[in-house]
Amino acid sequence: MTTVMSKARAALQAARRVAVLTGAGISAESGVPTFRGEGGLWRNHSAMELATPAAWARDPVLVWEFYDHRRRALVDKAPNAGHRALAAFEGRLAGKRRGFTLITQNVDGLHEAAGSRAIVRLHGSIWRVRCSRCGREERDHATPVTPGFAGPGPGPADLPRCACGGVTRPAVVWFGESLRDEDLEAASRAAAEADVLLVVGTSAVVYPAAGLVPHAKRAGAVVIEVNLEPTAARAHVDHHLTGPSGALLPELLHA
Ligand code: BV8
Ligand code: ZN
């Protein structure tokens, strides 16, 4: 075991309260493309330009084609050893009445599928939709999202609709949209109270999520990062474990 790994394990074992921040990298070994990796493009569009209110206003059908594509690609994806290690670790801490909060930027639902429970979904869920007229939000796992999206060239008549007749959108936070106050407050509190913040699989460039790392550090947390490479959070990281989270998390978190 490397000295970094043994130091990181010791910090976690001594921690009374642990917070975890995950990004798209934790789902990479489940076969889910990350945002900024090579898989991050779809029909030569970047998620950055499609995950915006402007794209939705301009072409809701194209935006739903993007999300419908991602939902359909997720149907046969399973949590990997990294997701499972976090869920098992949460269970063990609960048994010892120690605090645990999982803060995720991901919308793929794989943490929930692995059994994680105390989850703050900063950017919403690709498996929930919200009515753009009445605001009603509900779970929606339909793939395709409506029959019209099964074939090529869906049109406005194929858009999913709420019982009130309004068009429903993916219940995710787009770039330029504010996060829900209760989510940001819960995440900020967990980061500020944590003895250890574990940062996994995020490039740490998207705010306010990335701001949780310096926030935890300033409040006295030990920051451990698991990533293939150093990230924009490197200045705040105490222990950086280089490698895939599916391999490193089981070693870092096992009893
Ligand atoms: C906000 C949901 C207030 C949608 C996402 C100009 C105008 C408007 C806003 C801004 C602006 N300039 C800056 C901003 C703020 C903006 C922002 O931060 N932009 C960045 C890009 C500069 N933020 C916002 O807009 C936020 N809202 O600020 O509101 C406001 C309001 C109005 C006006 C101004 C401000 C909202 C941000 C939320 C956006 N929604 N997702 C969807 O999913 O479709 S964010 C999206 O990126 C995903 O959630 C994703 O998680 C997130 C971050 O990406 P990462 O998770 O880090 O993934 P990435 O691909 O980048 O990196 C993967 C990492 O994994 C890499 O480090 C890689 O090395 C590593 N990795 C790969 N494989 C593995 C691995 N690690 C371990 N193991 C492996 N196997
Ligand atoms: Zn409605």
Across 1-17, average pLDDT: 95
Q: Which of 45, 69, 111, 123 is catalytic?
A: 123
Which atom of ligand 1 lies at the shortest distance from residue 25's CA?
65
In the numeric block, the tokens 């490193």 are attached to 248
Closest CA to 111 of 18, 221, 24: 24
Q: Residues 26, 32: contact at Cβ < 8 Å?
A: no
Q: Confirm whether 123 is a catalytic residue.
A: yes
Lowest-confidence pick of 22-26, 92-96, 184-188: 92-96
Which atom of ligand 1 lies at the shortest distance from residue 207's CA?
18
For ligand 1, whether the C-beta of 29 sits within 6 Å is yes
Q: pTM of the predicted model, to two decimals?
A: 0.97
Distance 205 CA to ligand 1 centre (A): 6
> Which amino acid, 137?
E
| Residues paired with residue 115 on neighbouring β-strands, in sequence order | none
For 72-99, write each residue's pLDDT tens digit: 999 999 999 999 999 999 999 998 989 9
Q: Residues 25, 202: contact at Cβ < 8 Å?
A: yes
Q: Residues 68, 62: contact at Cβ < 8 Å?
A: no
For ligand 1, whether the C-beta of 172 sits within 6 Å is yes
For ligand 1, whether the C-beta of 104 sits within 6 Å is no
